[in-house]
Structure formats: C-alpha cells, structure tokens
C-alpha cells in the first residue's frame, strides 16, 4: 500500500528542498537555463533563507519527496504560488491537487484575500488543476514568458 502526505518544509529540510527544487528546474527548464544555474549554486544559507521567506510544501510518497509547490506574499493582501511540480513517476494520481490545496490553505491562514499564479497558455494539465481548484484567468500574457495570470479569491 502506498502512503502519501503533504508536508511543509522547514529550514531544517533545506537539503530535501534543494534536491527537489533543482529536479523541478532541470525537468521544466533544462540544466542550461539561467534560473537553474543560479539556484544550483545556492549555499545552504540561501536555501534556508528561501524556506524562511517562502512557504514550500512537498508531497511524500512512502516518505520520498516527489513534488513541490511554493508560496510567497506578494502584498499584505495577496499570496503568489509558484513552482508546482511533480516527479514524472508521481504524476497522474491527483497529487498536484493536494499540493495546491495545501498552498491555498496556507494562504487562507495568512488571511489574504487573493491567491495568484502564472501558467503557460499551452499547459492544459496545470491549467485544468488550477481551474478545478477555482482559479480563473485574470490577465493574458504576463511577463517575458507570455504566461496567463490566474487568481482565486479566498
Ligand atoms: C502539472 C503537474 C503538476 C500535474 O500533475 P499530474 O499528476 O500530472 O496531474 P494529474 O494527473 O492529477 O492530472 C490533473 C488533471 O488533468 C487532467 N489531464 C491530464 N492530461 C490532460 C490534458 N492533456 N489536458 C487537460 N487535462 C488533462 C487529468 O485528467 C486530471 O483531471 P482530474 O483531476 O479531473 O482527473 C505535472 O504534470 C507536472 O509537474 N508538470 C511539469 C511542471 C508544470 O507544468 N507545472 C505547472 C507550472 S504552472
């Protein structure tokens, strides 16, 4: 029997966070992407600071971290979610929805009114997950990657 659970990563988990975050960046952007290269050179102190300043959640499958989502305050009233990712082996079991739910719950606990995120227009799987959770497209083509901005009122 497989046991899955979502857990918030604390500063003490920085090594786990670094490994999963770099897996996600390599898988999504490739090892030559500037963002991957920048974070691959993070020190322990930088990983720890990221976990202090942002809320990061992983999904554990039989105690193995297999995915990630992060959240940060955008303003006093708004939280931005980023980096929803699942290891390819863990996809197709609804775990992305569980990660998303944990991050949205965290936003609610921070008493903000809006949760936002960005998604590539052609990423229909991710977009479907966000829409199922109640997110709606707020603006088209944001930033250099021409992503859709989505938001949820909480
Ligand atoms: C996006 C991601 C986290 C989704 O995780 P997943 O485990 O693949 O998602 P699921 O299998 O739970 O599928 C979610 C839903 O999408 C549906 N789906 C699958 N393929 C689809 C497609 N091509 N188009 C539309 N919906 C699709 C599934 O049926 C499922 O719907 P359901 O919950 O109603 O059954 C994962 O694919 C991933 O890590 N991708 C790479 C990183 C990424 O794109 N992150 C998002 C950045 S914004």
Compute, in angstroms, the gap from residue 125 CA to the centroid of ligand 1: 4
User: Distances from the Cα of 125 to the Cαs of 76, 100, 101, in angstroms?
Assistant: 30, 13, 16
Q: What is the largest CA-CA distance in the chain?
A: 44
Compute, in angstroms, the gap from residue 128 CA to the centroid of ligand 1: 7
74 contacts 80 by C-beta, under 8 angstroms:
yes
Compute, in angstroms, the gap from residue 40 CA to the centroid of ligand 1: 26
Compute, in angstroms, the gap from residue 110 CA to the centroid of ligand 1: 27
Helices 124-132 and 95-109 pack at an angle, to 10 degrees, of: 50
Domains and their CATH numbers in the chain: 4-153 (3.40.630.30)
91 CB near ligand 1 (under 6 Å): yes
Distance in angstroms (rounded) separating the CA atoms of residues 77 and 52: 19
pLDDT tens sequence across 110-119: 999 999 999 9
> Which two three-digit tokens encode residue 12?
């003490």
Going by pLDDT thresholds of 50, 70 and 90, the confidence category of residue 142 is confident
84 CB near ligand 1 (under 6 Å): yes
pLDDT tens sequence across 62-104: 999 999 999 999 999 999 999 999 999 999 999 999 999 999 9
């Amino acid at each position: 029997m497989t046991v899955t659970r979502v857990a918030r990563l604390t500063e003490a988990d920085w090594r786990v966070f670094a490994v999963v975050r770099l897996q996600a960046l390599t898988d999504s952007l490739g090892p030559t992407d500037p963002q991957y290269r920048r974070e691959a050179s993070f020190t322990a102190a930088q990983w720890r600071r990221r976990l202090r300043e942002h809320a990061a959640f992983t999904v554990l499958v039989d105690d193995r971290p297999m995915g990630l989502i992060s959240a940060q305050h955008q303003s006093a009233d708004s939280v931005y979610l980023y980096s929803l990712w699942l290891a390819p082996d863990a996809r197709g079991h609804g775990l992305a929805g569980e990660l998303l739910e944990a991050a949205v719950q965290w936003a609610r606990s921070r008493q903000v009114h809006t949760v936002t995120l960005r998604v590539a227009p052609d990423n229909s799987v991710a977009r479907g997950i966000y829409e199922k959770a109640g997110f709606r497209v707020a603006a088209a083509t944001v930033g250099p990657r021409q992503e859709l901005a989505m938001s949820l009122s909480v």
